[in-house]
Amino acid sequence: MALLEARDISKIYKTGPTTYIQVLYDISLSINQGEFLSITGKSGSGKSTLMHILGCLDTPTSGEYYLEDHNVAPMNSDQLAHIRNSFIGFVFQRFHLLPDLTAQENVALPHLYAGNQEQESMHRAAQLLAKLGLEQRMNHYPNELSGGEQQRVAIARALINDPAIILADEPTGNLDSATGKKIMELFSELNKQHHVTIIIVTHDPVLAAQTDRIITLLDGHLVDDKKQGAI
């Protein structure tokens, strides 16, 4: 079975006492362990909504969603949190680093929360930061780092609990195009070397073209799902 399988997912938001807006229509997709893909489409097409459902931050209004054979759609918020922490690392456009913690402490935090010893978490954080080329920046605070460095710290943080999946929503949106390209290369490397499944949400077709498979949304409909040759 696929790592991640969505069947006929729809999402309807209630916008007033009697008004509703449907933002996803019957989305079906299947993603295997080790894929590197992007979800693309114009602003408002439903990319983040779909990503939130795939990342167990939200549930669909109808349809089925399975993550490693777990039936996610009927889960309550505690069950969703548990499955998120077990399988998924998130990377966001605005990095979301804690300003009062150093790079190393930011990366170590989810590992500590998972119940590990501080020394072990800090050691693991240091190893990951070194792997991402930040050995000289471990004791810097977020405001002492460039945007690209902050995003690498956020990626290290997403990786620290060994997730099967990384979900990144516009991860290069706050970076210049050269730095953005480097971050995409880093994702590709993590995918190829460590077989982490990586799903990038982007409205930028140039970035989407750097991934192996492109899923396109248009007004809440999945209109294209194509694999590309190896890059």
Ligand X SMILES: Nc1ncnc2c1ncn2[C@@H]1O[C@H](COP(=O)(O)OP(=O)(O)OP(=O)(O)O)[C@@H](O)[C@H]1O
Give residues in contact with ligand X (CB under 6 A).
13, 15, 21, 23, 41, 43-49, 203
Could you give the CA distance from residue 229 to residue 92 in angstroms, rounded to a whole number? 27
Provide the minimum distance between the beta carbon of 162 and ligand X in the complex, in angstroms, as a whole number.
27
Report which residue's Cβ sits closest to Mg ion. 48
CB of 47 to ligand X, least distance (A): 3
Q: Which of residues 40-79 bind Mg ion (CB under 5 A)?
A: 48
| Residue 20 partner contact from Mg ion, ligand X, none using kind-dependent CB cut-offs of 5 to 8 Å | none
47/137 with CB nearer ligand X: 47
DSSP letters, 15-51, are -SSS-EEEEEEEEEEEE-TT-EEEEE-STTSSHHHHH
Q: Give the shortest CB-200-to-Mg ion separation in angstroms.
A: 12
Binding partner of 44, given ligand X, Mg ion, none, CB within 5-8 angstroms per partner class: ligand X
How many angstroms from the chain centroid is the CA of residue 40? Answer: 14
Distance between CA atoms of residues 97 and 158, nearest Å: 11
Q: Which is nearer to Mg ion, 48 or 106 (CB)?
A: 48
- Alpha-carbon dihedral angle through residues 177, 179, 180, 182, given to the nearest 10 degrees: 130
How far apart are CB 94 and Mg ion at their closest, in Å? 12
Query: Would you say 46 or 148 has its CB closer to ligand X?
Result: 46
**Shortest CB 93 distance to ligand X, Å:** 9
Of residues 43 and 143, the one with the C-beta less far from ligand X? 43
Out of ligand X, Mg ion, none, what residue 41 binds, judged by CB under 5 to 8 A for its kind, is ligand X
Beta-carbon contacts of 103 under 8 Å, excluding residues fewer than 6 positions away, are: 97, 129, 134, 137, 138, 139, 140, 141, 142, 145, 149, 153
Q: How many residues bind Mg ion (CB under 5 A)?
A: 1
Cβ–Cβ < 8 Å for 52, 80: no
- Catalog residues that contact Mg ion under the rule CB under 5 A: 48
